[in-house]
């Protein structure tokens, strides 16, 4: 790097400049005979014993130079890599000072304490990041740089292999490790490419099992999709499914996620054993269930924090309790307080019908400060839900526009219905990921699995694609039936929004239409 003027020296070393102050900085530059950008840290180190500037200054300067060099580097990723790799634009710096909070405004004077510092260019945002390395970060870097066999290392350390897998996944999330490209990818040639369709809309880094481990339930909801009496799986069968998910995740370069649901998953006799087994294998987890006791949530957290706990409300108190049982609304609100106290992310889901559409916006106002997020699905008219009514499409479009507008001032409101992207297109706003992050994710980024292993493309309507007690995930995923649901409706082929929409197959099917040929009846595109 060539010699540059003093002003540029200040731009590269802003922390040093601000901590010294302009007068002291100018005296130092004269004293050092206007050093080059690259030589500045070394000259400070050399002069440190003889001149009265802060002892931390040479290390701070070295950190700032590293940030500058990484910002100028080109992040060249090997698309043909065969394993997770270190980010090539990453540096690990050992410091006797805590400097991470010093390199950004308000430029705090550092403490004298040992610290390992990571500086890297994030592979997606291309922004420069600086952070103190955690023990998990250092573990992940060691495992990958030394190409450690995770199973062997876990046995040697007598820890679940999931501990090591999680460390690597966390490092990948930060961008200090570069994961392999997912094989769970939209490869349909009809998908149109627009500037608003991102690669993250086309390839999933996760594969989820929405696992109905039991149909036992302590509620009797009027719109239940399925009350069929199915043989409960044994713990051994459950463990076999988790092992299958491990192999599938490795084969397809994705991270496994298990969403435990039911019925009420806590009513499955071996629930905590199954939850522990999922955590031990490195899967992230979530819960779709009913309110339970503080004791059960604390037992859950002792194993692994779920990414979220989702429960349901169907409208304001009177209507909700009519649908789900007397006292249910109050029970849920109290449970949300428990989740908040225990720092568990909470989500509320609602099934939208003609009877509750006018209650949704008042409900989300009441949920401010109680839930972390609120989303809804349109009623899928199957099972007992077939006795309920959907709103008229025109009325639904009016509501959806009001809902999107309300989201601007209410953080609780989340987006799930694919048709919201029609509104975002009209407003020339960036698309969100749709129902599952990839438009309709049926048989793409998730499967729904019932207690007897029967596997469906989507839980909202009958969409059987196999059985995990007799077939492998890979076998079912690549089957003709799965591809049929993944393909979706031919009526959407010419739509620019196909990758982030595709309508709702469950609505199309539930209203007696052919989801392979006809589009979502509520679509106005």
For 365-408, what is each residue's pLDDT tens digit? 999 999 999 999 999 988 777 888 999 999 999 999 999 999 99
Distance of alpha carbon 405 from alpha carbon 372, whole angstroms:
18
pLDDT value of position 8 = 81
Residue 162 near residue 282, CB atoms below 8 Å: yes
Predicted confidence at residue 188, as pLDDT, reads: 61
Higher pLDDT: 82 or 478? It is 478
Q: Look at residue 195 in the predicted model and tell me its pLDDT.
A: 63
User: According to the model, what pLDDT value does residue 192 have?
Assistant: 59
Task: Specify the pLDDT at position 227.
Answer: 63
What's the confidence (pLDDT) of residue 82?
A: 81
Residues in CB range of 366: below 8 A, 6 or more apart: 316
Positions of E strands within 254-308: 255-261, 284-288
* Distance in angstroms (rounded) separating the CA atoms of residues 35 and 56: 18
Asked if 75 and 121 count as a contact pair (C-beta separation under 8 A), the reply is yes
Average pLDDT over residues 75-94: 87
Of the chain, the percentage scoring pLDDT greater than 70 comes to 96
State pLDDT tens for residues 321-348.
Answer: 999 999 999 999 999 999 999 999 999 9
Cβ neighbours around 422 below 10 Å, total: 19
Q: Tell me, what's the pLDDT at 501?
A: 93
Span 359-369, average pLDDT: 97
- Sheet of 112-121: strand order equals 90-97, 112-121, 128-132
Query: Beta 373-378 vs 446-449: how paired, if at all?
Result: unpaired
Q: What is the mean pLDDT of the chain?
A: 92
Over 50: is that where the pLDDT of 2 sits? Answer: no
- For residues 37-43, average pLDDT: 89
Per residue in 223-252, pLDDT tens?
776 667 787 899 999 999 999 999 999 999
Identify the pLDDT of residue 4. 45
Taking 90 as the threshold, does the pLDDT of residue 424 lie above it? yes
Long-range (24+ apart) CB contacts under 8 A made by 153-157 are none
pLDDT at 397: 98
Q: Are 434 and 450 in contact (CB under 8 A)?
A: no
Q: Are 87 and 123 in contact, with CB atoms under 8 Å apart? A: yes
What kind and span of H or E run contains 309? strand 309-312
Share of the chain above pLDDT 90, in %: 77
User: 503 with 422: CB under 8 angstroms?
Assistant: no
Structure-model confidence comparison of residues 299 and 381, the more confident one: 299
Q: What would you report as the CA-atom Rg of the chain, rounded to the nearest whole angstrom? A: 27
How far is it between the farthest Cα atoms of the chain? 86
Rounded Cα–Cα distance for residues 433 and 329 (Å) = 30
Tokens describing residue 489? 């409706």
CA 43, 47, 52, 58 torsion-angle sign: positive
Question: Is the confidence at residue 149, as pLDDT, over 80?
Answer: yes
pLDDT of 322: 93
When pLDDT is cut at 50, 70 and 90, the band that residue 1 belongs to is: very low
And the tokens for 285? 């987890």
Is 308 a residue whose pLDDT tops 50?
Answer: yes
Contacting residues for 104 by C-beta, under 8 A, at least 6 apart? 15, 130
- Mean pLDDT lowest for which of 163-172, 396-405, 487-496? 487-496
- Which pLDDT score, from 0 to 100, does residue 3 have? 41
Does residue 461 have a pLDDT over 60?
yes
Q: Nearest 5 degrees, angle CA 44-CA 49-CA 54?
A: 60
Q: How confident is the model at residue 147 (pLDDT cuts 50, 70, 90)?
A: very high
Q: What pLDDT does 225 receive?
A: 64
Reported in sequence order, the residue ranges of 379-437 that DSSP labels E, i.e. its strands, are none
Average pLDDT over residues 148-164: 95
What is the distance between the alpha carbons of residues 17 and 28, in angstroms, rounded to a whole number? 10
pLDDT at 191: 62
The CA distances from residue 460 to 379, 442, 522, in Å, are 9, 10, 17
Q: Are strands 112-121 and 90-97 parallel, antiparallel or unpaired?
A: antiparallel
Alpha helices per DSSP H over 103-212? 135-145, 150-157, 161-174
Q: What is the phi-psi region of residue 160: left when phi exceeds 0, alpha when psi lies from -120 to 50, beta otherwise?
A: beta
Q: Residue 391, SS3?
A: coil
């Amino acid at each position: 790097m060539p010699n540059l003027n003093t002003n540029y020296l200040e731009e590269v070393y802003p922390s040093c400049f601000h901590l010294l102050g302009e007068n002291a900085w100018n005296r130092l530059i004269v004293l050092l005979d206007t050093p080059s950008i690259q030589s500045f840290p070394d000259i400070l180190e050399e002069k440190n014993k003889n001149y009265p500037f802060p002892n931390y200054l040479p290390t701070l300067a070295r950190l700032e130079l590293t940030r500058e060099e990484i910002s100028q580097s080109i992040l060249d990723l090997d698309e043909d890599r065969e394993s997770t790799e270190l980010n090539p634009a990453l540096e690990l710096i050992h410091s006797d000072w805590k400097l991470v909070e010093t390199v950004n405004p308000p430029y705090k004077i550092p403490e004298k304490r040992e610290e390992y510092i990571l500086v890297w260019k994030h592979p997606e945002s291309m922004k420069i990041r600086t952070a103190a390395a955690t023990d998990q970060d250092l573990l992940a870097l060691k495992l990958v740089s030394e190409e450690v066999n995770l199973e062997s290392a876990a046995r040697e350390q007598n820890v679940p292999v999931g501990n090591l897998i999680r460390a690597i996944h966390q490092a990948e999330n930060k961008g200090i490790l570069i994961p392999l490209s997912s094989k769970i990818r939209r490869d349909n040639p009809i998908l149109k490419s627009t500037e608003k369709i991102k690669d993250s809309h086309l390839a999933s880094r996760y594969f989820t099992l929405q696992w109905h481990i039991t149909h036992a339930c302590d509620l009797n909801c009027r719109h239940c999709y399925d009350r069929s009496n199915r043989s409960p799986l044994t713990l051994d069968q459950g463990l076999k499914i988790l092992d299958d998910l491990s192999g599938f995740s490795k084969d397809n370069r994705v991270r496994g996620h298990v969403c435990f649901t039911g019925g009420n998953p806590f009513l499955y006799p071996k629930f905590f054993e199954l939850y522990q087994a999922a955590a031990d294998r490195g899967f992230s987890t979530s819960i779709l269930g009913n309110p339970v006791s503080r004791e059960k949530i604390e037992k859950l957290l002792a194993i692994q924090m779920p990414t979220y706990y989702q429960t349901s409300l169907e409208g304001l108190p009177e209507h909700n309790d009519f649908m789900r049982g007397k006292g249910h609304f109050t029970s849920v609100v109290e449970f949300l307080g428990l989740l908040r106290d225990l720092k568990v992310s909470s989500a509320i889901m609602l099934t939208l019908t003609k009877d509750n559409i006018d209650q949704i916006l008042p409900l989300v106002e009441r949920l401010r400060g109680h839930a972390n997020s609120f989303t809804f699905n349109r009623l899928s008219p199957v099972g007992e839900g077939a006795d309920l009514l959907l709103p008229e499409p025109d009325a639904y479009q009016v509501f959806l526009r009001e809902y999107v507008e309300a989201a601007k001032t209410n953080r609780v409101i989340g987006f799930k219905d694919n048709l919201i992207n029609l509104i975002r297109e009209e407003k020339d706003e960036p698309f969100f990921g749709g129902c599952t992050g990839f438009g309709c994710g049926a048989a793409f980024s998730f499967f729904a699995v019932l207690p007897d292993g029967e596997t469906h493309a989507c839980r909202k309507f009958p969409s059987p694609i196999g059985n995990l007690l007799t077939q492998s995930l890979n076998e079912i995923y690549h089957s003709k039936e799965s591809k049929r649901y993944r393909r979706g409706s031919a009526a959407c082929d010419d739509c620019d929004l196909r990758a982030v929409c595709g309508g709702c197959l469950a609505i199309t099917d539930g209203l007696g239409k052919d989801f392979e040929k006809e589009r979502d009846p509520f679509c106005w595109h």
